[in-house]
Structure 1
Amino acid sequence: MTRAALRILAVARLVVALVGGLLGVMSAPSGHELRTTVIVITVSAWSVLYARWLWQGPPPGLAWADVAVLSVVGLLQPWTVPPLSVGNGQGWVITLVSVAVVFHQWHTKPVSGLVSASVVTVAFLVGAWWTAPDLWVGAAAIGAWTPVQAILSRVLNTLLIQAARAADVQESRAVAARREAAVAEAVRADERANAAMLHDTAATTLLMVGLGEVGSSRQWVREQAGRDLDALAGENLDVAEGDALPALLEVVHASRVAVDLTAPDALPLPHEIATAVRGALREALNNVIRHSGETSATVVITVDSVVITDRGKGFRPESVPERRRGVANSIVDRLAAAGGRAVITSAPGEGTTVRLEWDRG
Structure 2
Amino acid sequence: MATSLTTARPAPTAKQPRNPISRKQVERVISRSVAVIGLVFGAQTLPWLLGQTGEAQPWWLLTFVPALFGLLIVVVVASFANRAVRAMHGTFAVVCFMALVSWPFTVLPDVEVFSGIHWLNYLITVATAMAAIAFSRVIATIYLFAAPLVYLVVRSLPVGGDAPWQLAVLEAFYALILGSAIMIIVTMLRQAATNVDDAQATALRRYGNAVRQHATEVERVQVDSIVHDSVLTTFISAARAYSPDAQRLAAVMAGNAIGHLREAAATSPDDISTIQATDLAQRVVTSAELLASNFTCAVRSVGARSLPAAAAEAVHSAAVQAMMNSLQHAGGLDVERSVEVRGLEGNGIEVLITDTGTGFDLDHVPQERLGVRVSIVERVANAGGRTAIASVPGAGTQICIQWPHNNLSDEISTLIDPAATDPELVDGDDVGAATVTDEAEGEQ
TM-score (norm 1): 0.63
Partner of 1:278: 316
Change (3 A) 1:309 1:152: farther
Q: Which runs of 5+ in 1 are unaligned?
A: none
User: 1:183 and 1:299 mapped to 2: Cα distance?
Assistant: 39
Within 5 Å, which residues of 2 pair with 1:1-361? 1=23, 33=57, 36=60, 72-73=101-102, 78=107, 83-84=113-114, 87=116, 91=119, 93-106=120-133, 107-108=136-137, 115-116=145-146, 119-120=149-150, 122-123=152-153, 125-126=155-156, 130-131=160-161, 145-188=174-217, 190-191=219-220, 194-195=223-224, 198=227, 203-212=232-241, 218-222=247-251, 225=254, 229=258, 232-233=261-262, 240-242=276-278, 244-256=280-292, 258-259=294-295, 261=296, 263-264=298-299, 267-268=302-303, 270=306, 272=309, 273-290=311-328, 292=329, 294-295=331-332, 296=335, 298-299=337-338, 301=340, 303=342, 304-309=350-355, 311-312=357-358, 314-317=360-363, 320-321=366-367, 324-346=369-391, 352-358=397-403, 359=407
Distance 2:386 2:192 in 1: 47
Structure 2: tracts of 5 or more residues without a match? 1-22, 72-83, 268-273, 343-349, 409-444
CA distance in 2, matches of 1:274, 1:357: 11
| CA shift for structure 1 position 298 | 3.7
Greater fraction helix: 1
Superposition deviation, residue 283 in structure 1: 0.4
Would you say the 8 A contact 2:330–2:396 is kept in 1?
A: no
Cα distance, 1:341 vs structure 2: 0.9
Q: Is the 8 A contact 2:229 2:370 kept in 1?
A: no
Question: Does the CA-based 8 Å contact 1:29-1:82 persist in structure 2?
Answer: no
Aligned equivalents of 1:78 and 1:213: distance in 2?
116
Structure 2 letter corresponding to 1:251: S
Structure 1 residue 270 displacement after superposition? 2.5
Cα distance in 2, alignment partners of residues 219 and 307 from structure 1: 20
Contact 1:257–1:288 (CA under 8 A) maintained in structure 2: no
d(CA) in 1 for partners of 2:242, 2:159: 111
Q: Is the 8 A contact 1:283 1:326 kept in 2?
A: yes
The separation in 1 between residues aligned to 2:27 and 2:301, in whole angstroms, is 58
1:220-247 Cα deviation digits (max 9, x unpaired): 545655565566545xx99655254432
Aligned partners of 1:167, 1:311: CA distance in 2, in Å? 64
1:153 deviates by 1.2
* Higher mean C-alpha displacement, 65-74 vs 292-301: 65-74
Deviations 1:62-83 (A, max 9, x none): x9x9999676456668559984
Letter in 2 for 1:97: I
Cα distance in 2 between the residues matched to 1:346 and 1:241? 27
CA gap of 1:225–1:130, structure 2 versus 1, over 3 A, is closer
In structure 2, how many angstroms separate the alpha carbons of the residues matched to 1:175 and 1:115?
Answer: 41
Provide closer, same or farther for how the CA distance between residues 266 and 36 of structure 1 changes in structure 2, counting only shifts above 3 A.
closer
Rounded Cα–Cα distance in structure 2 between residues aligned with 1:177 and 1:310: 52
Q: Secondary structure at the match of 1:158?
A: helix
Which deviates the most, 179-188 or 268-277? 268-277
Give the aligned residue type for 1:101. Answer: T
User: Partner of 2:9 in structure 1?
Assistant: none
> Is contact 2:152–2:169 with CA below 8 Å preserved after alignment?
no
For 1:68 and 1:112, the matched residues in 2 are separated by: 12
Q: What CA deviation, in whole Å up to 9, does each residue of 1:305-327 have, x standing for no partner?
A: 41434543524458642x54332
Shift of 1:164: 1.1
TM-score under structure 2 length normalisation: 0.53
The CA distance in 2 between the partners of 1:102 and 1:337, in whole Å, is: 56
Aligned length: 331
Structure 1 residue 331, shift from structure 2 partner:
1.4
CA distance in 1, matches of 2:158, 2:389: 91
Checking the alignment, whether the CA contact within 8 Å between 1:121 and 1:147 is kept in structure 2 is no
Query: How far, CA to CA, are the matches of 1:284 and 1:189 in structure 2?
Result: 23
Q: Distance in 2 between matches of 1:241 and 1:82?
A: 92
User: Retained in 2: the 8 A contact 1:280–1:335?
Assistant: yes
For structure 1, which segment, 121-130 or 99-108, has the greater mean C-alpha deviation from structure 2 after superposition?
121-130
SS state at 1:312 partner: coil
Higher RCO (CA-CA < 8 Å; seq separation 6+): 2
